[in-house]
Amino acid sequence: MREVVLVYLDRSGGLQKFVHDCKKYNDSKQSYAVYRFIISINPSDIAELDATLGNYILHNPLQAAQIFQSVCFIAIKTLSLIEQLQTEAQISILLKPTHLPPLPSYVLSLSAYPFNYTSQRFYMSEGIVIAMGTVTKYTQGARFLCTEETCPFSEGFRCIRVHCPGATESATVRTDFVCSLCSSPLQEDMKFRVLGDKQIVEIIDAKILNALKGYSNDKSHFRMQAISVFLR
């Protein structure tokens, strides 16, 4: 699947954009804990190249991003695109689909009950924004070092925490992380923390417009519940 990813990026122009993004990181001469890349993908085009990879992207996007991460790391090292990059863990890939298949199973309904959307895959959803919060900061990535000086993880970029979709802030930054090699406490290197913007919006199903008309053909009682969406 790595070979298919490389072929797709080359044909779609994504590889050229990736090289351009790498150049911006490399020209900054600043060492980052996490190098973040947004890759636009067309699920239909990928499925034509390889049905397995296309299905994997649609239904296991977090695991599929790891395949893109591996390909991007090899490309950076092979072409010497970012001199400061040390480990594959420093690369954060966000897959951004151009569209999803026009099938009911890919539509997340805001009014259907119960909510049986337990899989961490892509869904489409439409609604009316009824409230917006202020833009605040969140941690996209952080570097941790082992407190045991003799441990190999006490230097370099071996312990990297990267925010994943659906995770809370405490999943990325806490004070109780321990070294996977020697079980000593990990301490964050604050100067390498990478921040991003986030905003919370409240959306509600468009069916609320019928209720606002002041009448309803359905005599049964119903309740509309807003849903919080995190924009990052």
Q: Give the pLDDT confidence of 172-225 residue by residue, as tens digits.
A: 999 999 999 999 999 999 999 999 999 999 999 888 877 777 655 665 666 778
Specify whether the CB–CB gap between 9 and 71 falls below 8 A.
yes
Quick one: 15 and 86 in the same domain? Answer: yes
CB atoms within 10 A of CB 75: 16
User: Quick one: average pLDDT of 106-115?
Assistant: 74
Q: Are residues 49 and 92 in the same domain?
A: yes
What are 30-56's pLDDT values in tens digits? Answer: 878 899 999 999 999 999 999 999 999
Q: Does 93 lie in the same domain as 44?
A: yes
For residue 25, give its domain range.
Answer: 1-99
The CATH number covering residue 74 comes to 3.30.1640
Q: Is 3 exposed, middle or buried (0-12, 13-18, 19+ CB in 10 A)?
A: exposed
Shared-domain flag, residues 13 and 82: yes
In terms of domains, do 77 and 62 share one?
A: yes
- pLDDT value at position 129? 94
pLDDT for 166 equals: 82
- If one counts the domains in the chain, the total is 3
Residues 211 and 162 in one domain: no
**Whether 56 and 86 share a structural domain:** yes
Residue 114 pLDDT > 70: no
- Residue 162: closest CA among 77, 80, 217, 232: 232
Banded pLDDT at 110 (limits 50, 70, 90)? confident
Q: What is the pTM of this model?
A: 0.86
Residues 141 and 186 reside in one and the same domain: yes
pLDDT at 5 over 90: yes
What is the spatial distance between Cα 83 and Cα 33, in angstroms, rounded to a whole number? Answer: 13
The whole-number pLDDT of residue 54 equals 93
The pLDDT mean for the chain works out to: 89
Give the residue from 64, 17, 10 showing the smallest Cα distance to 39.
Answer: 17
How sure is the predictor about 75, in pLDDT bands with cuts at 50, 70 and 90? very high
